Amino acid sequence: YGEVTIKTSATLAVFLSDALNYLIQYPYGCSEQIASRLKPMAIIKAGLNIPNIQENFKLKKVVENGREYTLDQLIDIGLNEIYKNQNSNGGFSLWGDGRESYYTTLKVIDMMVAMKKANVAINENSFNRGLTYLYDKFNNSTLSLDSKIVFASVLLSSDQYKHNASIKSFIESTANNDKIIKDNLSNKTLSELAVILNSGNFKSSIVKKVNDVLDNRIDIDSRGAFLEKNKNNTFYDYYETPIANT
């Protein structure tokens, strides 16, 4: 009839090790796929830097084509592949042989920010050029409101733009508009807006207003709390899903 394995431990670390190992995979594919694989590795790397944490986790080496790779080796391989796909204007293309995509560049720069927070050395020239590209796009009036909020989220997470007056003014004016936050924003961008506001340096009244709207959109059932897609406005361009929203 099959087999059941039961594990017991005084700490959740034993069970989390399996989950963390699942997130560590060889970084192959297009720029977006590589960045999506590297960001969890950066978060794991940052977590392992916390005192008394690393000894509780057992990270396995990844085997690819008969060769073993450590977490640090996989990060280096992935980053070097990413750098090859950057165009002269700072944007990143999917495969390195075509036109840059600002959503691909968003994914890449977001991953690089996570790497920097994990104290992983990255190519600063590549990072800064990517940031400049994104900021130029942020100031492009043809971007949708949802897109501008996601751009703002990534830019404000960097040291170079975290105090940028223009971006902060945009966030404040958006958060102050009741119709926008209640009716117009996708759940993806509403949650991004809430993350930005809760990061600090914004009026508490604005933070509370957006948090309250977000709370009203969260569903709770036997599975837990989760944030579905907004039926009236789904952010398809950024691959919105309930899992990503939550």
Q: With a cut of 70, say whether residue 236 has pLDDT above it.
A: no
Interval 133-181: pLDDT, tens: 999 999 987 888 999 999 999 999 999 999 999 999 999 999 999 999 9
DSSP conformational letter for 69: E
pLDDT at residue number 5: 78
Q: With a cut of 80, say whether residue 113 has pLDDT above it.
A: yes
DSSP conformational letter for 60: P
pLDDT at residue number 1: 65
68 forms beta bridges with 63
pLDDT at residue number 237: 61
The amino acid at residue 215 is: D
Instruction: In whole angstroms, give the CA distance from residue 216 to residue 200.
Output: 22
Interval 205-233: pLDDT, tens: 999 999 999 999 988 888 788 888 877 67
62 forms beta bridges with 69
Q: How many residues does the chain have?
A: 246
